[in-house]
């Protein structure tokens, strides 16, 4: 992160221009801030102001100018005091875009100093009141509830796991970089995760990249161990397995190329099409800690528009990771999700499953998404519980946790992958933004009918 902006003299002693008072200083906790039109609980920055020989309470802090008042004007900045006595600045966005806000401190003797807070605002979304933004990354791809109102979130563009407060907008509470443990500086394209006890299983997409090129890092399944909960959560690396893709191809080939895995992973074959190969779901079978369902975004079964979604059981996933055993595959499960594929799958302690269903094609904000309830039993049909809105940027990507699904009115929190979104109207995809403070994914709550 860029170092906090300081408007202070270059030498150690505060400047004195003859007025008898030193030049004040101002330090922001961050020099960039992101927000959204209509948002609730947007991130804030704190300002530390000082003047030699003058109590901080006598110093006046205010925003005196905005480079684009249509995004946020001077009057849109609110100043409050935290319980620790810090001065906290929040911004109410007027419109999408960027603006530089000039922050000024005035001390005794009329002495002043200024610094700049660079602000970016994304557009209003549906249900702004229930929306929160996870900043620091735009490509949220898998989430696991770790209790205490917090969740671990993976990013399909890096090996970093981030711990977020589920109720608030803002940056991660903590981060862990799994790259050194995996021995790679490239990304595993983590797309799904599930938890059994203190072990979290994570899987890469296993497919080619968007250009149809094989990347070995994507062919990774790994585990992490969790201790603690909430903000005190700790993560340690467990084990990693590479080669599940090849095992799936061999298994499918031995069964008459039933799903076309070999063709779907061929050189030049893009993964996200009805006859492609791309994994985006992982969850264990009812009551099992050994058999896991691998959920496919592609292919459909059969590989035609309107085909069924596909799950392939791995009956010994625990030993594949713990002891390096060869994976054993069970009978595939095909289910009707209205022509949609698996984008995430999760269950609760009652073995109530939710399936986040979406298009197998490349991400598009207008693609349909839906939530289906299932009992985890092969041959039993899932039931649609909700259609998801598609008017706002981002692809619905992750279920945080599954509530009790008996009856109506259960609420579930979902997270979007905003990596391909133009959040600020400048034509730049969020994943390519230069500053992490402006990268963000979105979480929202939905009531199931």
Same-domain check for residues 356 and 317: yes
Per-residue pLDDT at 364: 59
Residue 206: inside a domain, yes or no? yes
Instruction: Grade residue 19 by pLDDT with cuts at 50, 70 and 90.
Output: low
Same-domain check for residues 108 and 236: no
DSSP string, 135-150: ES-S-EEEEEEEETTE
pLDDT at 402 over 50: yes
Instruction: Grade residue 20 by pLDDT with cuts at 50, 70 and 90.
Output: confident
CATH number at 85 reads 2.60.40.1080
Per-residue pLDDT at 294: 98
Same-domain check for residues 236 and 147: yes
Residue 362: inside a domain, yes or no? yes
- Tell me the CA distances in angstroms from 190 to 186, 219, 278, 427, one per residue in order: 12, 10, 11, 26
CATH number at 243 reads 2.115.10
Per-residue pLDDT at 363: 61
Q: Do the beta carbons of residue 61 and residue 88 sit within 8 Å?
A: no
- Which residue among 88, 122, 156 closes a domain? 122
pLDDT at 282 over 90: yes
pLDDT, the chain, mean: 93
Share above pLDDT 90 across residues of the chain, in percent, rounded to a whole number: 89
Q: Work out how many domains the chain is built from and give that number.
A: 2
* pTM score above 0.85: yes
φ/ψ region of 222 (left if φ > 0, alpha if ψ in -120 to 50, else beta) reads: beta
- Which residue among 61, 94, 122 closes a domain? 122
Same-domain check for residues 73 and 139: no
Per-residue pLDDT at 361: 84
Per-residue pLDDT at 362: 66
Instruction: Grade residue 186 by pLDDT with cuts at 50, 70 and 90.
Output: confident
Average pLDDT over residues 26-33: 97
Average pLDDT over residues 239-259: 97
Identify which of 441, 438, 448, 444 has the alpha carbon closest to the alpha carbon of residue 34: 438
φ/ψ region of 187 (left if φ > 0, alpha if ψ in -120 to 50, else beta) reads: beta
Same-domain check for residues 50 and 134: no
Residue 20: inside a domain, yes or no? no
Same-domain check for residues 98 and 198: no
CA distance 250 to 266: 13
Residue 53: inside a domain, yes or no? yes
Residue 297: inside a domain, yes or no? yes
Per-residue pLDDT at 169: 97
Per-residue pLDDT at 365: 63
Same-domain check for residues 290 and 216: yes
Q: Which of 35-39, 108-112, 220-224, 364-368 is least confident?
A: 364-368
Residue 193: inside a domain, yes or no? yes
Same-domain check for residues 135 and 250: yes
- Peptide bond before 299: cis, by omega within 30 degrees of 0? yes
Per-residue pLDDT at 86: 87
Per-residue pLDDT at 10: 35
CA distance 130 to 153: 19
Same-domain check for residues 74 and 147: no
Q: Which of 285-294, 374-383, 404-413 is least confident?
A: 404-413
Tokens of 395: 């692809």
Domain span at residue 43 reads 25-122
Residue 359: inside a domain, yes or no? yes
* Beta-strand pair 32-36/112-122: parallel
Same-domain check for residues 164 and 302: yes
DSSP string, 193-260: EEEETTEEEEEE--S--TTS---GGGSEEEEEEEES-GGG-EEEEEEEEE-HHHHHHHHHHHTTSSS-
- Which residue among 66, 94, 122 closes a domain? 122
Same-domain check for residues 353 and 402: yes
CA 82 to chain centre: 28
Residue 19: inside a domain, yes or no? no
Same-domain check for residues 185 and 213: yes
């Amino acid at each position: 992160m860029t170092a906090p902006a300081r408007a202070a003299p270059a030498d150690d002693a505060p400047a004195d221009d003859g007025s008898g008072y030193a030049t004040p200083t101002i330090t922001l906790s961050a020099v960039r801030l992101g927000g959204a039109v209509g948002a609730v609980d947007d991130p804030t920055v704190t300002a530390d102001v000082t003047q030699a020989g003058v109590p901080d309470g006598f110093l006046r802090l205010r925003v005196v100018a905005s480079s684009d008042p249509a995004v946020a004007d001077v009057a849109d900045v609110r100043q409050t005091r935290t319980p620790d006595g810090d001065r906290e600045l929040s911004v109410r966005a007027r419109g999408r875009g960027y603006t530089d806000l000039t922050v000024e401190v005035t001390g005794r003797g009329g002495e002043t100093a200024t610094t700049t807070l660079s602000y970016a605002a994304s557009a209003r979304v549906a249900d702004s009141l229930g929306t929160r933004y996870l900043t620091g990354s735009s490509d949220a791809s898998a989430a696991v509830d770790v209790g205490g109102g917090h969740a671990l979130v993976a990013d399909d563009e890096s090996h970093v796991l981030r711990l977020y407060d589920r109720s608030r907008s803002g940056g991660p509470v903590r981060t862990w970089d799994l790259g050194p443990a995996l021995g790679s500086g490239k990304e595993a394209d983590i797309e799904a995760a599930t938890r059994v006890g203190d072990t979290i299983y994570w899987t890469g997409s296993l497919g080619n990249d968007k250009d149809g090129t094989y990347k070995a890092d994507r062919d990774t399944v790994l585990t992490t161990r969790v201790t603690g909960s909430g903000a005190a959560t700790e993560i340690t690396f467990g084990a990693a397995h590479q080669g599940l893709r090849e095992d799936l191809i061999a298994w499918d080939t031995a069964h008459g190329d039933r799903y076309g895995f070999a063709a779907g992973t061929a050189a030049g074959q893009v993964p996200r099409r009805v006859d492609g190969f791309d994994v985006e779901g992982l969850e264990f079978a009812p009551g099992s800690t050994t058999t896991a369902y691998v959920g496919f975004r592609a292919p459909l079964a059969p590989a035609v528009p309107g085909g069924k979604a596909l799950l392939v059981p791995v009956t010994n996933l625990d030993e594949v990771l713990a002891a390096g055993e060869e994976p054993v595959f069970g009978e595939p499960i095909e289910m009707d999700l209205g022509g949609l594929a698996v984008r995430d799958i999760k269950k609760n302690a009652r073995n109530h499953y939710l399936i986040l269903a979406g298009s197998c094609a490349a991400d598009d904000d207008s693609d349909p998404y839906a939530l289906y309830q299932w009992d985890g039993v092969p041959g039993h049909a899932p039931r649609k519980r909700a259609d998801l809105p598609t008017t706002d940027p981002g692809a619905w990507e992750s279920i945080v946790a599954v509530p009790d699904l008996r009856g109506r009115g259960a609420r579930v929190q979902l997270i979007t992958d905003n990596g391909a979104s133009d959040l600020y109207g400048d034509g730049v995809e969020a994943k390519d933004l230069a500053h992490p403070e402006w990268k963000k994914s979105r979480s929202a709550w939905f009531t199931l009918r």
